[in-house]
Amino acid sequence: MAIAELRQQLIRGEVSAREVTQDQLDRIAAVDSTLHAFLDVTAERALADAERIDKARMAGEELPPLAGVPLGIKDNLCTKGIRTTCSSKMLENFVPPYESTVTNRLWKAGAVLLGKTNLDEFAMGSSTETSAFGPTSNPWDITRVPGGSSGGSAAAVASGECIAAMGSDTGGSIRQPASFCGVVGLKPTYGRVSRWGLVAFASSLDQIGPFTSCVADAAELMNVIAGHDSNDSTSLTAPVPDYCEKLREPLAGVRIGLIKECFQQEGLNSEVKESVLAAADSLRSLGAELIEVGCPRFNDGIATYYVIAPSEASANLARYDGVKYGFRSEGAESLLSMTSRSRAEGFGSEVQRRILIGTYALSAGYVDAYYKKAQQVRTLIRRDFDSAFEQVDVLLTPTSPTTAFQTGAHLDDPLAMYLADLLTIPANLAGLPAISLPCGFDSAGLPIGLQLISNVLDESRLLQVAYQYEQTANVMANKPDGKFIP
Amino acid sequence: MPATIAEWEAVIGLETHVQLGTESKIFTGASTSFGDNPNTHIDPVVCGLPGTLPVLNKKVLEYAVKAALALNLNIAEHSKFDRKQYFYPDLPKNYQISQFDQPIAEEGWIDVEVAEKGKDTYVKKIGIERLHMEEDAGKLVHAGSDRLAGSTYSLVDYNRAGVALAEIVSKPDLRTGREAAEYASEIRRIMRYLGVSDGNMQEGSLRCDVNISVRRGPKAPFGTKVEIKNMNSFSAIQKACEYEISRQIKAYESGEPVIQETRLWDEGKQLTKSMRSKEGSSDYRYFPDPDLGPIEVTEELREAWRNELPELPAAKRIRYVEELSLSSYDARVLTDELSMASYFEDVVKAGAAAKLASNWITGDIAAYVNANKLNFTELPFSPKDLAEMIKLISSGKISGKIAKEILPELLKAGGSPEKIIDERGLGMISDPSTLSDMVDELMVDYPKEVEAFRGGKKKLQGFFVGQLMKITSGKADPKLANQILLKKLLG
């Protein structure tokens, strides 16, 4: 059920918030032992919150915009009084004494917390397999990964465990799992949504965004979470439009750019390519103009990202030392051994790998060759986009070169895993908003995702194009067919 | 002619950490209050909890820029914060937010007046390399023993973590321990004038690290640099430098190497001792902090802040000597504290002679203020009233002795000296005919003494002055009284 429809039903009294929440909790109880999308389910609180919404409605109060909308929240967003683990042993028992700005806005808007969703440890991964608490399965085929790092949120929305969910995207962690799970995932402009309370992975790249089952719901959620926050120095002050307003505007005259370099990728699966190009054709039939554009540095994104993101991460994760909170190794004899053993035992191997890469890239003698060089390439990538947006309004690419891969397929090959983010990373490096939405299925019945990228702060355009496509393509009518889950 | 070996010369530079006296910390609203129970001024940002973000306290930027302007530094229009990374439990995030290659200010100088007993006072211009903003660390308390060596565990107090610091780095322009101490003292004086720091060394709001080496004369290359820490007074800075200079010279002269290291000043033993050798410099893996945007100081803002700067101690010292004809010693004493200088200036403005005002203020009044741990601004005795008292003395209405008598109650409760004098009839008797009558009576009462005086015992003039003062309870105008007495006694 879409958020707007739920709101109407609630207002008309056709359904109660409690019933909606209970249905979701029942759904979670039925399928989550198979999927493992949730790390913690906050049933008691969810029902109490829903009942409060029902009481307010019965008392004749005007309902807030997200009244009774049950949400899954990625477990790297701090929730006051509720364990926030980042899927790491390091934070297994960490209970934040404060609430993230995004979740705070969501609760104020009447949304209901169903629970915290699984992720790759500290959001480092593309398959949700690096979670210290076990992987999440793809609802379309449980032998496959849901993507990552926000795999729990994507799987939860795809399987109907929640109406919508929140994720974070540093190099594709919303869009790639959205693509693998056949849902909508939006990464807003860097700075559009406050990062206060998001456990940092790579601060200059991290953005929070929604997972939804339709484009309109993404717009509804953006209306609540976007906006300036004085607790985040990188938060933008630009006014926030009504993201629902432009959805229904026709596409006539909209210029859509196909990034040449993306479609020439060797690793690009041919079924994915065909499906995405077919989607581009339907956009043309809707009145949009298709233009081929070049982004010569696009494919350098991945190398650039894997220097910048680990560099920032190596500093961001230095605070986990066993002194103040989080995991502390027992029996250490000295300060040095307490710190090093706590980190060796508390972090998983992928997190350790990235800390090592980042520490190396920032070390004296290497910082110029790696970190500074990567920052220069980042500027070049941003310039490529700048010149592309002189010609077009929106860029179109596949979200991921492939559909969901088998669990374990890339676990021993980090480079292959990193390539899953090849097409999503450049938008993070340039701070641009981007959306992934389903555009078809491969021969194995797995969803294929289409990525749209717009200029900074042009989320409305992104949502408009996505919405117009969605209305005609009718891809969303397909649901996981119950082959693996009821 | 045999070549002479050049004299040893010390090369000293100071790194001064000044805690900026803002109410809240540099990146969060937690209080900066000192001396409270451990971990009472902390919040999620101070503790580096996951998901927290720093937001620059605008007051810190203002204080840092004002401090930099007062040190004649160039203010950067664009600067940034960097992360300085090292693991230590007093550093909650295991990186310190500091400024690396784009500090808020660079290239400045101050004039330092160097005064030492038995030597000529001179003014020396000391270059300042840079000033940057950063956050302070917390404190470790070692438990289980009163010394680190025997302690069984350590506790950490984050009250100080995140307090704003300005780090001021001097150029290696200092040559003696005294110069180093005077430089540090002038930095503190300037910070206090600006009101950006209390500069309390005991509480750690002003901390100095010394970099010191020696060489054979001013043209020789720099010797091996040693860093000294742990001095918590200006005299400790001086003594530590002096100790270290002679230690290094002795080492060189006896053929022992001076190694690059950090040494601690031991105040009890009055010597420096090796803490750790610093052969390879640490790799702090600096990079720009992505959580904080660029720091922008527009010309407009900078000039607005410049206009708010008070007259600084060096300018005051010059003005007091040149315009008010005070000695450089008096000028130095008066300008040490802004409140004293302002008090002095208000007294002069109210019409008192500068030299007399200076004498009273640096003498009895300063003694009272210090003894009672007051500030001049808290003194009940207003500058206007002091000026009135000085004028009463100058005009001959009261004697200095009477002024000293009424001073204690004026200092305690304030009030108009003239009113007190009138109420109590303490004014001087300076009417010649009254004094003349009194002298006549005395001469009648003491005929023998008059005779003796006229016979040559001129010392007896003092006896008559004494008697006159006795009769008038000390109120007779001493100058006039002497004149009249002498005239009458001589017949």
| B89–A195 CB contact, under 8 Å | no
pLDDT at A177 (0 to 100):
98
Distance from CA of B153 to the nearest CA of A (A): 9
User: Residue B127 forms beta bridges with which residues?
Assistant: B109
Check which CATH number belongs to the domain holding B447 and give it: 1.10.10.410
pLDDT at B480 (0 to 100):
81
Measured distance CA(A458)–CA(A455) in Å, rounded: 6
Count structural domains, chain B.
3
Same domain? For A112 and A252 the reply is yes
State mean pLDDT over B471-490.
82
Tell me whether residue A346 is in a domain: yes
Task: Report the 10 Å Cβ neighbour count for B173.
Answer: 19
| B49–A98 CB contact, under 8 Å | yes
Same domain? For B229 and B318 the reply is no
Same domain? For B250 and B146 the reply is yes
When pLDDT is cut at 50, 70 and 90, the band that residue B4 belongs to is low
Q: Which of A198, A230, A233 sits opposite B51 (nearest CB)?
A: A198
pLDDT at B460 (0 to 100):
85
A317 → chain B, closest CA residue = B93
| A315–B285 CB contact, under 8 Å | yes
Same domain? For A208 and A78 the reply is yes
Same domain? For A206 and A108 the reply is yes
A319 → chain B, closest CA residue = B93
pLDDT at B82 (0 to 100):
98
pLDDT at A484 (0 to 100):
57
CA distances from B43 to A104, B27, B30, B31 (A): 18, 11, 6, 10
Count structural domains, chain A.
2
Same domain? For B332 and B379 the reply is yes
Distance from CA of B346 to the nearest CA of A (A): 44
Interface test with A, best of B42, B46, B47, B53 (most A CBs within 10 A): B53
B96 → chain A, closest CA residue = A315
DSSP character string of B227-253: EEEEE-SHHHHHHHHHHHHHHHHHHHH
pLDDT at B468 (0 to 100):
84
Q: Which of A97, A318, A359 sits opposite B44 (nearest CB)?
A: A97
- Kindly provide the ipTM of the predicted complex, given to two decimals: 0.96
- CB proximity A337 to B under 8 Å: no
Q: Give every CB contact of residue A446 below 8 A, 6+ residues apart in sequence.
A: A138, A140, A141, A144, A180, A403, A404
When pLDDT is cut at 50, 70 and 90, the band that residue A308 belongs to is very high
State mean pLDDT over A339-354.
97
Interface test with A, best of B46, B87, B135 (most A CBs within 10 A): B87
Task: Please state the three-class secondary structure of chain A as a single string.
Answer: CCHHHHHHHHHCCCCCHHHHHHHHHHHHHHHHHHHCCEEEECHHHHHHHHHHHHHHHHCCCCCCCCCCCEEEEECCECECCECCCCCCHHHCCCCCCCCCHHHHHHHHCCCEEEEEECCCHHHCCCCCCCCCCCCCCECCECCECCCCCCHHHHHHHHCCCCCEEEEEECCCCCHHHHHHHCCEEEECCCCCECCCCECCCCCCCCEEEEEECCHHHHHHHHHHHECCCCCCCCCCCCCCCCCCCCCCCCCCCCEEEEEHHHHCCCCCCHHHHHHHHHHHHHHHHCCCEEEEECCCCHHHHHHHHHHHHHHHHHHHHHHCCCCCCCCCCCCCCCHHHHHHHHHHHHCCHHHHHHHHHHHHHHCCCCCHHHHHHHHHHHHHHHHHHHHHHHHCCEEEEECCCCCCCECCCCCCCHHHHHHHHCCCHHHHHHCCCEEEEEEEECCCCCEEEEEEEECCCCHHHHHHHHHHHHHHHCHHHCCCCCCCCC
pLDDT at A108 (0 to 100):
98
Same domain? For A361 and A406 the reply is no
| A200–B50 CB contact, under 8 Å | yes
Contacts of B53 in chain A (CB under 8 A): 195-196, 231-233
**CA proximity to B262, closest of B288, B224, B295, B215:** B224
- CB proximity A420 to B under 8 Å: no
Domain that holds residue A105: 3-257+396-478
State mean pLDDT over A444-453.
96
- CB proximity A12 to B under 8 Å: no
Same domain? For A335 and A435 the reply is no
Q: Which of A77, A230, A319 sits opposite B93 (nearest CB)?
A: A319
Share of chain B above pLDDT 70, in %: 97
Higher pLDDT, B469 or A99: A99
Share of chain A above pLDDT 90, in %: 93
Question: Per the omega criterion (within 30 degrees of 0), is the bond before A149 cis?
Answer: yes
Same domain? For A134 and A252 the reply is yes
pLDDT at B85 (0 to 100):
97
CA end-to-end span of chain B, whole Å? 78
CA distances from B31 to A453, B202, B315 (A): 44, 20, 34
Condensed to tens digits (0 to 9), the pLDDT of residues B407-428 reads 988 999 888 888 888 887 777 7
Same domain? For B261 and B320 the reply is no
Q: Which residue among B383, B398, B424 closes a domain?
A: B424
Measured distance CA(B433)–CA(B219) in Å, rounded: 76
Same domain? For A314 and A420 the reply is no
Check which CATH number belongs to the domain holding A407 and give it: 3.90.1300.10
CA end-to-end span of chain A, whole Å? 18
State mean pLDDT over B362-391.
92
Condensed to tens digits (0 to 9), the pLDDT of residues B178-205 reads 999 999 999 999 999 999 999 999 999 9
| A363–B85 CB contact, under 8 Å | no
Same domain? For A365 and A408 the reply is no
> Is the Cβ–Cβ distance between A137 and A36 less than 8 Å?
yes
Interface test with A, best of B285, B292, B295 (most A CBs within 10 A): B285
**CA proximity to A325, closest of A91, A39, A85, A75:** A91
Condensed to tens digits (0 to 9), the pLDDT of residues B436-462 reads 888 888 888 888 988 888 888 888 888
Distance from CA of A365 to the nearest CA of B (A): 10
- CB proximity A77 to B under 8 Å: yes
Q: Which residue among B246, B277, B304 closes a domain?
A: B304
| A232–B49 CB contact, under 8 Å | no
pLDDT at B1 (0 to 100):
43
Phi, psi at B79, each rounded to 5°? -140, -175
Q: Which residue among B424, B444, B460 closes a domain?
A: B424
| B51–A203 CB contact, under 8 Å | no
- CB proximity A166 to B under 8 Å: no
Q: By three-state DSSP, how is residue B367 classified?
A: helix
- The DSSP call for residue B361 is I
Measured distance CA(B75)–CA(B16) in Å, rounded: 18
Condensed to tens digits (0 to 9), the pLDDT of residues A168-222 reads 999 999 999 999 999 999 999 999 999 999 999 999 999 999 999 999 999 999 9
Contacts of B154 in chain A (CB under 8 A): 335
Same domain? For B244 and B328 the reply is no
Q: By three-state DSSP, how is residue B28 classified?
A: coil
Same domain? For B225 and B357 the reply is no
Of the CA atoms within 13 Å of residue B387, those in its CB half-sphere come to 15
Distance from CA of B283 to the nearest CA of A (A): 6
- CB proximity A195 to B under 8 Å: yes
- Asked if pLDDT for residue B281 goes beyond 70, the answer is no
B97 → chain A, closest CA residue = A315
B290 → chain A, closest CA residue = A204
- Asked if pLDDT for residue B150 goes beyond 80, the answer is no
CA distances from B228 to A402, B221, B259, B269 (A): 61, 21, 13, 15
- The DSSP call for residue B364 is I
pLDDT at A481 (0 to 100):
59
Same domain? For B284 and B245 the reply is yes
**CA proximity to B166, closest of B63, B284, B296:** B63
Same domain? For B338 and B295 the reply is no
Distance from CA of A321 to the nearest CA of B (A): 8
Domain that holds residue B471: 432-489
Same domain? For B234 and B103 the reply is yes
pLDDT at B457 (0 to 100):
87
Same domain? For B37 and B137 the reply is yes
User: Residue B226 forms beta bridges with which residues?
Assistant: B212, B261
- Asked if pLDDT for residue A416 goes beyond 70, the answer is yes
- Asked if pLDDT for residue A478 goes beyond 80, the answer is no
For the ranges A402-411, B178-187, B376-385, the maximum mean pLDDT occurs at B178-187
B288 → chain A, closest CA residue = A312
Active site residues of A: 74, 149, 173
Same domain? For A130 and A40 the reply is yes
Contacts of B157 in chain A (CB under 8 A): none
Same domain? For B403 and B256 the reply is no
Interface test with A, best of B24, B52, B60 (most A CBs within 10 A): B52
Same domain? For A139 and A73 the reply is yes
> Is the Cβ–Cβ distance between A111 and A69 less than 8 Å?
yes
| A362–B287 CB contact, under 8 Å | yes
Q: Which residue has the tokens 């208000």?
A: B346
Same domain? For A62 and A102 the reply is yes
Tell me whether residue A292 is in a domain: no
Tell me whether residue A102 is in a domain: yes
- CB proximity A352 to B under 8 Å: no
Contacts of B285 in chain A (CB under 8 A): 314-315, 359, 362-364, 367
| A312–B55 CB contact, under 8 Å | no
The alpha carbon of A95 is separated from its chain's Cα centroid by a whole number of angstroms, namely 23
Condensed to tens digits (0 to 9), the pLDDT of residues A10-42 reads 999 999 999 999 999 999 999 999 999 999 999
Q: Which of A84, A234, A312 sits opposite B293 (nearest CB)?
A: A234
Same domain? For A356 and A211 the reply is no
Condensed to tens digits (0 to 9), the pLDDT of residues A102-150 reads 999 999 999 999 999 999 999 999 999 999 999 999 999 999 999 999 9
Same domain? For B384 and B447 the reply is no
Phi, psi at B411, each rounded to 5°? -65, -35
The alpha carbon of A355 is separated from its chain's Cα centroid by a whole number of angstroms, namely 22
Q: Which of A231, A233, A311 sits opposite B56 (nearest CB)?
A: A233
